[in-house]
Amino acid sequence: MKIMVSACLAGENCKYNGGNNRNEKVLQLIEENEVITVCPEQMGGLPTPRVPSEIRDGVVTAKDGRNVDAEFRAGAAKCLEIAMREKPDLIVLQSRSPSCGVKQRYDGTFSGTLVDGAGVTAQLLMENGFRCTDVEDL
C-alpha cells in the first residue's frame, strides 16, 4: 500500500515549535508500506520554528495577527500535486492542525476551542477524492 503522512508524525522536526508528533503507529506503517512524508506548512515557505496559526473566518491567521493564508494554501496545493502524482491509497494526517486536521481544527481564537472542519491541506485533498484520516483514528 502507498501512504502519504504528515511529516511530523514520522518524527521530522517540522512542527511550529521545532518539535515533532512522532507516532508509533505511523512508524509501523512506514516499516510495512511505501510512505511519502509531507509538511504543507514548510512546503508553503514557512520557517520552522514559526508562530502558530489557526483558521479565523476562513483565513489562516498567525497568533501575532499576520495573514498567512497564501503560504498555507500554497503548501496545500503542493501536497495535492504530490498526491495526484503518487496516488496514495491512504493519507494519514495530524489531528487538529490548521493544515493537516481532518475532522476538527481550532476556531481561530487561540483559546483551545475546537470546531468541526478540516485544515486547508486535508480539505483540499478530500475535495479531490483522496482518502484522509486523522492519526487519532488510525
Element (H, E) at 82: helix 69-86
Q: Tell me: does residue 100 bind ligand SF4 (CB under 6 A).
A: yes
> How far apart (Å, rounded) are the C-alpha atoms in residues 99 and 9?
14
- Judged by phi (left if over 0) then psi (alpha if -120 to 50, else beta), residue 77 lies in alpha
Cβ closer to ligand SF4: 97 or 123?
97
Q: Which of 23, 53, 61, 99 binds ligand SF4 (CB under 6 A)?
A: 99
CB of 61 to ligand SF4, least distance (A): 15
Query: Cell 520554528 belongs to which residue?
Result: 49
CB of 55 to ligand SF4, least distance (A): 13
> How far apart (Å, rounded) are the C-alpha atoms in residues 79 and 111?
28
> Pairing relation of β-strands 2-6 and 34-38?
parallel
Instruction: Please work out the total of residues on this chain that contact ligand SF4, with binding judged by CB under 6 A.
Output: 12
Cβ closer to ligand SF4: 33 or 52?
52
Q: Which of 23, 53, 61, 94 binds ligand SF4 (CB under 6 A)?
A: 94
Q: Tell me: does residue 120 bind ligand SF4 (CB under 6 A).
A: no
Binding mask 32-51 for ligand SF4 (x = CB under 6 A): -------xxx----------
The vertex-116 CA angle with 13 and 47, nearest 5°, equals: 25
Query: Cell 503518487 belongs to which residue?
Result: 86
Interface ranges with ligand SF4 (CB under 6 A)? 6-8, 14-15, 39-41, 94, 97, 99-100
